Amino acid sequence: MDKIVHMIFIVILFLSLCLSVPENEGYFGGWPINTDKDSIQDPGFLLDCRETSGNKKNLGCSCITDDECGSGKCLSSPRKGRYCGQTEGTIFPRYKLMDQYGEEVDIYDFAGHGKLIVIEFSTSWCNPCRQLASFFTYGDEEVFKNRWWKPEYEIIKELIHNDRIYFINIQVQDVYREPASLYSVEDWFQEFPDEKIPILVDSDYKVRDWMRITGYPTVIVLNDKMEVVQFSLRGCHDAFNLLSSMNWDEKK
């Protein structure tokens, strides 16, 4: 009997070793790993107006002028009013979100690799979001019909597929305008199977609320230190203008 128990223990141990994946071995989706990510000073994602820094108001606090804000930027939104908002240099919070393969992804793993990090906030019901995904995946030119599209934006597809930038799609809602889920991003990936683009789930709206998005798609650009380079509350033209205006030949 003891011999049988011992053999069962050996089998269980062997299976556990085969099925376990070391933390830094990599993601199933092939996303990068940043072994130095803990050195980034995570600002957190909770908007707390009870604390101030140097008599300056924190992100999300109501304001009238730029001088009141620690970020130096008092934003105005028809839906949100006036508040201290994100600006160039603001550090993006450290979120851990589920991807299309059902794996939790630490967004700070995309930092530290010398690449710009482009984040699109989208929903499954957003038609321009779908057109953009179809262009990136299949080269579908339907997105070209939008008034905001410019021919020079076509380079962004090349930048994604030539590994010049990281492009991340954070899904906020599903086709029923309910919070996005693993099932909804799996469906999205089935429809737009672009293996270069992580599709992450913002099921509790934490990222959306930190961003204070007013429309979809919304695209922002971060540097490899997770600092905002180009911020927007709505649309992708500001980010795409930045990316398409850069001299990528000099960056090779």
Per-residue pLDDT of 221-244, as tens digits, reads 999 999 999 999 899 999 999 999
Q: Which of 24-33, 72-81, 151-160, 186-195 has the lowest mean pLDDT?
A: 72-81
Greatest mean pLDDT among 32-36, 43-47, 77-81, 246-250: 32-36
Q: Which of 67-71, 115-119, 168-172, 177-181 has the lowest mean pLDDT?
A: 67-71
Which CATH number, 3.40.30.10, 3.40.718.10, 3.40.50.800, 2.102.10.10, labels domain 91-245?
Answer: 3.40.30.10
Q: What percent of the chain has pLDDT over 70?
A: 86
What pLDDT sits at residue 80?
Answer: 75
Could you tell me the CA-to-CA distances from 49 to 56, 57, 63, 69, 70 in Å, in that order? Answer: 10, 7, 11, 11, 12
Alpha carbons 172 and 218: distance in angstroms, whole number: 11
Going by pLDDT thresholds of 50, 70 and 90, the confidence category of residue 5 is very low
What pLDDT sits at residue 16?
Answer: 40
What pLDDT sits at residue 191?
Answer: 98
Overall pTM > 0.75: yes
All CATH 3.40.30.10 domain ranges in the chain, comma separated: 91-245
